[in-house]
Structure 1
Amino acid sequence: MSETPPLLVDIDGTLTDESRAIDPRVFPVLREWPETVVIATGKAMPFPIALCEFLGIERTVVAENGGVVFVEATDELQLRGDHEASLAVAEAYRELGHELGFGAVDLANRWRETEIVVSLNQPLEPLERVAEEFGLVVLDTGFAYHVTDPSVDKGTGLAAICAELEMDPSSFLAVGDSENDAEAFDVAGEAIAVANADETAKARADRVTEARYADGFLEAVAPYRP
């Protein structure tokens, strides 16, 4: 068994199956991981916080693709990115006759503090055009279009956490499946993409697992488990 590194891991497509249900086999892995675990996701902060809460692990999270960073050990919450610009994009997109696509209650956007998300069943080209007008970019995570500030990403989020904890990003193992994991892959010491990852993630990873989804995550961490 290799020495266990701190771990940064995505949720959707990495800890889940293809229906986005978390595979319960990952729970003991995360709960028993002996080093720092960072949950890094495109989801709003309540989702990774809840995952950590119910796992019983320290709440150390990167949410909204780096827009939100929380470190429980130092009680530090950082909000990064231009939320006002993302809200303006949403308004302009609606004025063009489109919707965000998550219904009236819109749980996908309800708790977001730095970006917005748009359903994949909505047109991409006008969204990208409007986002560019406001200095933002659109990330396709395979689960939604994220309208986000290009100055933040999971890599900057990991760097912010490491600054709080006096750690080095290069000490981390990062596991993910999407283009929004690529910047974290760039700064982590070891980066592994699960087999269902998109081409951007695969190209930036050090290696790609043979297995898909949560099976791929379990394969990625197997060398570090007893």
Structure 2
Amino acid sequence: MVPPLVLDIDGTLTDADGHLDPRAFEVLPSWDAPVILATGKAFPYPVSLCHYLGLPQTVIAENGGVVLADGEVTFTGDREAAQAAADEFVARGGDLGWDAADTANRWRETEIIARLDADEALLREVADEFDLEVIDTGFAYHIKTPGVEKGVGLERVCETMDYDPEEFVAVGDSVNDASTFGVAGRSFAVANADDVAKEAADTVLDQSYMDGTLSVLESLREEDAA
């Protein structure tokens, strides 16, 4: 049998412009094992993607702050603390960088994010005062509760679904995937991955974005057929 998967979305199931690669609709719905979507994006994004892909809604969102498995949702990040830190950052002259609609944060339940052109030094200073951390995922600065990680989310999903994390194959591209790589049995960083992800992965792929992810899935199918 093919192994279960835990897949990042941005940079892993997308193209270089951040658009979802349509080949995801060809390969993921027919995968004969659980597929977990693990992302730094707000909770509704991976849930919606599961819906449109026709996958069971099994997700790790907001860098592990929200986990959904077997219809059960758990929250571990402290949204109120993150919001308070963001408010203080703005009060000191910082700018999160979003427009009035702020769809980047509107549906976040456990963290707050700022654009990468925000004042990083000030943001980290304020977050530290609130006992929070800031991680740069390449998409945004995430103000989050320390210890909340995708890898912890994977362990929680496995507890709910009665799987061993060692059974999973992980694919990702960013610092927030490093904890997943440390928990899954096998891990792959696509060629466009940042240095932290590449260092944490078992294998660094020659191909980028969805091309890299597809190369992993094809090799897993070949292993299963052998």
TM-score interval, normalised by the smaller of the two chains: over 0.9
Unaligned stretches of 5+ residues in structure 2: none
1:118 alignment partner in structure 2: 114
Which string of whole-angstrom CA distances, capped at 9 and with x for unpartnered residues, describes residues 119-177 of structure 1?
01111111111111111111111111111111210001000100001111111000000
2:36 alignment partner in structure 1: 38
Residue 166 of structure 2 aligns to a residue in which SS?
helix
1: CA distance, partners of 2:99 / 2:72: 33
Residue 28 of structure 2 aligns to a residue in which SS?
helix
- 1:95 shift after superposition: 0.7
Residue 217 of structure 1 aligns to a residue in which SS?
helix
| Residue 76 (structure 2) pairs with residue 80 (structure 1) | yes
1:9 alignment partner in structure 2: 7
2:161 alignment partner in structure 1: 165
- 1:179 shift after superposition: 0.3
Q: Contact 2:94–2:122 at 8 Å: present in 1 too?
A: no
* Alignment TM-score, normalising by the size of structure 2: 0.96
Identity of aligned residues (%): 51
| Residue 56 (structure 2) pairs with residue 58 (structure 1) | yes
Q: Contact 2:94–2:123 at 8 Å: present in 1 too?
A: no
2: CA distance, partners of 1:10 / 1:163: 20
- 1:225 shift after superposition: 2.5
2: CA distance, partners of 1:163 / 1:96: 42
* Alignment TM-score, normalising by the size of structure 1: 0.96
The match for 2:96 among 97, 100, 122 is 100
Residue 8 of structure 1 aligns to a residue in which SS?
strand
Which string of whole-angstrom CA distances, capped at 9 and with x for unpartnered residues, describes residues 47-68 of structure 1?
0000000111100000000000
- 1:19 shift after superposition: 1.2
1:222 alignment partner in structure 2: 218
Unaligned stretches of 5+ residues in structure 1: none
Cα-Cα RMSD: 0.9
Q: Which moved more, 1:188-197 or 1:25-34?
A: 25-34
2: CA distance, partners of 1:149 / 1:175: 24
Runs of 4+ in 1 over 3 A off after TM superposition: none
The within-5 A match list for 1:61-210 is 61-71=59-69, 73=70, 75-210=71-206
Letter in 1 for 2:7: V
